[in-house]
Amino acid sequence: MCGIVGIVGKEPVAERLVDALRRLEYRGYDSAGVATIHDGTMERRRAEGKLFNLEKVLDGEPLPGTIGIAHTRWATHGVPNVTNAHPHFVEGVAVVHNGIIENFSELKEELIAEGAVFESQTDTEVVAHLLAKYTREGLDHQAAMLAMLNRVHGAYALVVMFADDAGTIMAARSGPPLAVGHGKGEMFLGSDAIALSPFTNEITYLVDGDCAVLTAKGAKIMDFSGRPVTRKSQISQAATFLVDKGNHRHFMEKEIYEQPEIISHALSHYVDFAENVVKQPDAAIDFGSVSGLAISACGTAYLSGLVGKYWFERYARLPVEIDVASEFRYREIPLSKSQAALFISQSGETADTLASLRYCKDEGLKIGAIVNVKESTIARESDAIFPILAGPEIGVASTKAFTCQLAVLAALSIAAGRARGTITAEGERAMVKHLVEMPRIMSRVLNEVQPQIEALSREIARFKDVLYLGRGTSFPLAMEGALKLKEISYIHAEGYAAGELKHGPIALIDENMPVIVIAPHDRFFEKTVSNMQEVAARGGKIIFITDERGAAASKLETMATIVLPNVDEIISPMIFALPIQLLAYHTAVFMGTDVDQPRNLAKSVTVE
């Protein structure tokens, strides 16, 4: 994730900004920059690579000024270099940005037609040009900011300075987090409270749709139409912890809500957002020539692999053999050197997965690692590394690592389809466009369904057993939903393929058995609805998780219906993962369990 810091201060800010950025290094980045205003002039210093490179630049060319913004960039649009590094300047406007501007291509074409000249490859520069345009047209800074916010679409956090106003920083949030820090005669902004902990412990967290105007006297917060809103401040414990929970009760909740931003940065490693194509993956595995894939993992990572199996087989016509690593390692599977193997692990240290990897390596297969820790043992022993870039995941029950694993598998399956000639160039662009839209849709879903799910969790907490059903890629999601619920609430739950209902589980259905059905309106929908009718006929309590088309098509009475936006099948598993994560989380909170550290579980299983 990128890092953002801003200070409206009463003493020089450049060194303080860089120090604050250093506290965000754990988020990952590939370039950095800082800008200040001094004597009516706005200047910046930028550098590729780590912060010490930026510090060297500042040592040679110091930046005076008591107001400034700074940024660590994880490249999305455009390669990591000085030109693409933030802040971006256009006609007295400086912008730093986390996230993705989905409609940047259309906006860029419009601005170029009006005479704008772009210096970088980034989507961020579009924001600076829009602000400059509206300012030229006579709008004041606040009006220009609001006009820009009503033109851009996507998931983003933006921080802006104007050269002719050395006392104000403006900011906006639509997805990625932003925190306002309150000081004595100075104010601060950060993408994480930990960055602000050296300056203040009084924090106000912006919510989606907030625009803030900071001066040394305080912060004015409004919505994107300019109506004032009130946000409470709180005392942050960020100085105590390496990673702060922010305004969330638990790390798991924070990690659920980080997913729109995290996904955008994971995708940036695999997708060319400007061209809507998947970048060439690690050449150590040639998906175009392998005869099949063997996939193995444990727990949630195994379930992401199951979703990947559907994608590789459907989009790349590539046969996939998959099993949990604790079984895979002992099956003595007959394998061919023409195959490749993928191993999925958040930690990269999972003992059974590592043993399965070594078995495949001994059989002569090319090995790929889908991991969150690039320096891990599994990564080091693999031929190709496919990082999920989820950042630190503190909660034992995996959330953002799961959806990042899915995002990487989706990108790899598209790349494999392209290499094997089973996906056309037009088909690839269409699927990638859906991937690019995903962070915005995830942010919308998290905001819209949370109140309903929190209320529903109080009902779920009354039951001792829960069934989850799904077909296609929703079948692994059903198992993931059941796994999450049992992990942190300790309610017994099982996930089944919906077509297997009548082959045993239907015997359990009565008025005391909630059945959670995950059913987007896809090619399996009508068959899944028929399974729901079987549940309803036996008095089962149905919780229906579907999309707008599915809700309109089904006439069954349910205990609750959770309606998500209509989305393409390639992103459906990531979107539908969100309500099942929230349902498990809120149920566990209501029951009073230890959400982040559930009993008997460890984050990384390094023994057999």
Catalytic residues: 2, 603
**Cα 156 from Cα 176, distance rounded (Å):** 6
Sorted by sequence, the CB contacts under 8 Å of residue 10 that are 6+ apart come out as: 66, 185, 186, 216
Structure tokens at 50: 């780590």
Q: What is the DSSP letter of 506?
A: G
Residue in 4, 54, 64 with CA at minimum distance from that of residue 32: 54
Q: Using an 8 Å Cβ cutoff, are 505 and 496 in contact?
A: yes
Identify the three-state secondary structure at position 137: coil
| Cα–Cα dist 576/472, whole Å | 13
Phi, psi dihedrals of residue 544, rounded to the nearest 5°:
-105, 115
Amino acid sitting at position 487:
E
Which are the contacts of 143, defined by CB distance < 8 A and separation ≥ 6? Answer: 134
* Closest among 463, 464, 465, 533 to 498, alpha carbons compared: 533
**Cβ 519 vs Cβ 544: under 8 Å:** yes
* CA 111 to each of CA 99, 124, 134, 449: distance values in angstroms, whole numbers, following the listed order: 21, 13, 12, 36
Classify residue 539 as exposed, middle or buried by CB count within 10 Å of its CB (0-12, 13-18, 19+).
Answer: exposed
Contact 343, 382 (CB under 8 A): yes
Helices (H), 171-231: 193-196
What is the DSSP pairing of strand 31-38 with strand 67-73? antiparallel
Q: How far is Cα 585 from Cα 319, in angstroms, rounded to an integer? A: 35
340 touches 282 (CB < 8 A): no
**20 and 190 in contact (C-beta within 8 Å)?**
yes
Of 515, 484, 479, 521, whose CA–CA distance to 306 is shortest?
479
CA distances from 271 to 77, 279, 405, 510 (A): 9, 5, 15, 47
- For residue 361, the 8-state DSSP code is H
